[in-house]
Amino acid sequence: MTSVNLDKHMTESTATEFNWEEFLDPYVQTVGELKIKLRGVRKQFLKKKLYSPIEFVTGRVKRRDSIRKKAVMRGYTQETIREMEDIAGVRVMVQFVDDVWDVLELLRKRKDLKIIEERDYIHNQKASGYRSYHVVIEYPIDMIEGAQVVLAEIQIRTLAMNFWATIEHSLSYKYGGVIPDEVRERLTTAAHMAAQLDMEMGAIREDIQEAQLLFDDPQARLDYKKENGEDNELW
């Protein structure tokens, strides 16, 4: 089986130029649709004056060089490259660990996608300190050539988890994947602190939610400002 060379050509043995734009179009559409739908879920909660477990949603299509590297590392071929699970990636940010499970239930109930795998890195934290919940899905889209199913990965994280993971990713990139021991030790310490932060915030979750619902309501915000003699917006 010939390994994929996702550079200018798929393989050395073929003269067919690999059309990156055509290949990535379904993934771009998938990420766009999922972001709109999941942001819509948040809006529905807020319109009903309910607490939303979704804080915000981001998404990206994997960069070409990252796809190339992973294809070589994992041995994907021209025929199997679409089995790569994270070319389309969506990240759902939440405030509390308990919100992760609420978002997960929302995803499990949806009829417009099919969950094919779940990876729990919250209860099974990676050795590096990484925590998150990953859901691999099959997502159907309609292109002018017809319907097709795209693999995508949805990551659900608290803000603390995301802060740590973003820093770790940046440092890994800086050091070419080999982070110095001293820096790695500090990252491990920071991972424990992030987990502790999540635990402490979870302990006062109800109080925080009530306060946020209060300030999400325009009239309640005005009443608060009058009672406290504040004319400026709350920061």
Q: Catalytic amino acids? A: 153
DSSP E strand boundaries for the chain: 56-61, 88-94, 114-120, 133-143, 146-158
Residue 62 token pair: 């994997």
List, in sequence order, the alpha helices (H) in 93-158.
Answer: 97-109
Distance CA 190, CA 192 (A): 5
Task: Give the number of other Cβ atoms within 10 Å of residue 90's Cβ.
Answer: 24
Q: Which amino acid is at 112?
A: D
Between CA 12 and CA 4 the distance in angstroms is 9
Q: Check: CB of residue 134 under 8 Å from CB of residue 69.
A: no
Closest CA to 181 of 141, 128, 132, 124: 128
